[in-house]
Structure 1
């Protein structure tokens, strides 16, 4: 049998597209079903005289009658979730078709409207899976960005209402690299960390921020007979700039900053096109002294960033302490 392979490829593409559309359509209907169930439960609760007691009895009664027929999706816990879903997102037309029920289950637990809007914008723009959204919530992406940026700028960039004017608006400090699978107690050479990043490049791009694309590893530079190697080179389409990353598994020194500055200068003068913005340099280090970074760079510096990396996610208490430190730091700067 002779068959043109192009027609087979085309038909396969049609089948896969239709299958994906069907899955998305079913999930969209499921999301709307849960929303309407939550709305009906909430409206019924408002009629109860003692709402707390009446609400508990109502859920228990509904679950007892629906679960035998429709399964575990109608347990008391799930019904409570549907009710919370409606209360958190009270306008059905505002629900995003790009978000699945798995996304919404995670978003229900987010404790502020601004934070939820930020994550919704990021999921929609970056096409995050629910697993990727879960990791970003658990790694406190929102809180980490707000430590060095104001809330309105972070939201505006996330919603595509403005382009980032500063690399610090999208680059995180610290970066959490627990997905690399490296133990924090062990010692590593820089090449080990670099190899782990390349192996988990997709996750690393997600942690880096929006708009990053991989360009090169161990990029060789020839400068007047001397040879140098840049650890990692990326390009950011939002910033329209090359992004150079140097990895340091030890405490950051001013010599490290000088080396990265040379690489940035080289890219600005040799690689960068006229329509592109100045090259950005990131020193990804195990530890840094902010004062050393501050005094090693010009006061108006916007292109060199020192970011610590962590090999494990922060606990809630650690995050609270970091937020307190940042608040105290800003209060002292204002005095």
Structure 2
């Protein structure tokens, strides 16, 4: 008897999908349960005469009574989380149950309603795990996008209220590549950087932005007897265009920009279909000179120079970057 192995594959897939759905269903119920508990705690506190003192005593009382029966999920800190959860999302229909309790706990630690809205919408849209969302929060994704566009545009793109109109609404500057494991003070070549990016391709595409898919590595271009190799080629389904990424482990020069311009021209004239938008070029470099970029390229160019760094930026660093950008825009307005 010849047994078909495909039935085993199919049944395994059914089992795994069912398990995944069961886990998601349990977590959705847990989110709603914590919200309802938070609502009840809040209502009880509102009925107390000395609210601050009563609230503190109430949380301690709840933990002492519930933890022995229901476990560490009701330790002293958690009832306070449930209360904050309800206060932050007071309308149950506004809850997005695609998110787990781990997602919501991270969102509750943010200090801005705009940030909460941004990370919640981006997480749902991109199906980020709690760990992926935490990484984006730690790398200050929201603030880095504000460096290239305005707050309302960042939020409207996140909420799907508008499609991104250009690369600057998707591409981050700087890009943070701490997941590569390369040391800032160590010697490495462009090939090392490329290999590390390919090894961590999923994380790199997450850092690149929304809608990216991988096309090619070291794509060979043959031009009248001369061969050239394009480091990385992606496609962005939101902008409907090819995206060329060239890697430089030094401060970029006008020759680097010219090389990337040639690759972008090739893709625009040879590879791009009629319905697609112009190719975008990203020069990912260790250091850049915005003035050199500005005067090397024509106005409204589709080439973007973006710095990369191998460590997470601090809030102070991002604050300085944003302030510098504000001052730069003011100076341009005076001219």
TM-score bracket, normalised by the shorter chain, equals: over 0.9
- How far does residue 111 in structure 1 lie from its aligned partner after superposition? 1.7
Q: Structure 1: which 5+ runs fail to align? A: none
Q: CA deviation at 1:2?
A: 5.2
Secondary structure at 1:148 match in 2: coil
Q: CA deviation at 1:333?
A: 2.9
- Superposed, 1:238-257 pairs within 5 Å as 238-257=238-257
| Number of the residue aligned with 1:313 | 312
| 1:144 corresponds to | 144
- Tell me the C-alpha RMSD between the 2 structures: 1.3
Q: 1:147 & 1:274 partners in 2: Cα distance? A: 32
| Residues 210-289 of structure 1: pairs in structure 2 closer than 5 A | 210-289=210-289
| Paired position in structure 1 for 2:89 | 89
- Residue 48 (str. 1) matches residue 35 (str. 2): no
- Write the mapping of 1:120-199 to structure 2, written as runs, cut at 5 A: 120-199=120-199
Query: Could you state the TM-score of these two structures normalised by the residue count of structure 2?
Result: 0.96
- How far residue 326 of structure 1 moved from its aligned partner, in angstroms, is 2.1
Give every structure 1 segment of 4 or more consecutive aligned residues whose post-TM-superposition deviation is greater than 6 Å. none
Structure 1 Cα separation of the partners of residues 287 and 329 of structure 2: 21
Q: Which moved more, 1:2-11 or 1:303-312?
A: 2-11
State the 1:332 CA deviation: 2.9
Question: Aligned partners of 1:139, 1:19: CA distance in 2, in Å?
Answer: 32
Taking the aligned partners of 1:216 and 1:276, their CA distance within structure 2 comes to 18
Listed one character per residue, the Cα deviations across residues 135-165 of structure 1 (whole Å, up to 9, x for unaligned) are: 0000000010011111222222222222211
For the 8 Å contact 2:146–2:322, the answer to whether it is kept is: no
Pick which of 312-321 and 201-210 moved more. Answer: 312-321
1:329 correspondence with 2:331: no
Deviates more, 1:178-187 or 1:151-160: 151-160
Q: Sort the Cα spacing of 1:49 and 1:334 in 2 relative to 1 into closer, same or farther, 3 A.
A: farther
- Look up the SS of the partner of 2:132 in the other structure: helix
The superposition leaves residues 81-124 of structure 1 with CA deviations (integer Å, 9 ceiling, x where unpaired) of 11111111111111112111111111111222222111111111
Question: How many angstroms does 1:289 deviate by?
Answer: 0.8
Aligned match of 1:298: 298
Number of positions where the alignment pairs a residue of Structure 1 with one of Structure 2? 334
Q: 2:43 and 2:234 mapped to 1: Cα distance? A: 52
- C-alpha distance in 2 between matches for 1:316 and 1:270: 44
**Residues 213-255 of structure 1, C-alpha deviations (whole Å, 9 max, x = no match):** 1111111111111111111111111111000011010001111
Alpha-carbon deviations, 1:21-70, whole Å to 9, x = none?
A: 11111001100111111111111111222221111111111111111221
Q: CA deviation at 1:318?
A: 1.7
State the SS of the aligned residue for 2:153. helix
What is residue 112 of structure 1 aligned with on the other side?
112
- TM-superposed deviation, 1:268: 0.5
Does structure 1 conserve the Cα–Cα contact (< 8 Å) formed by 2:118 and 2:158? yes
- 8 Å CA contact 2:251, 2:286 repeated in 1: yes
- TM-score, normalization: structure 1? 0.96
SS of the aligned residue for 1:206 comes to helix
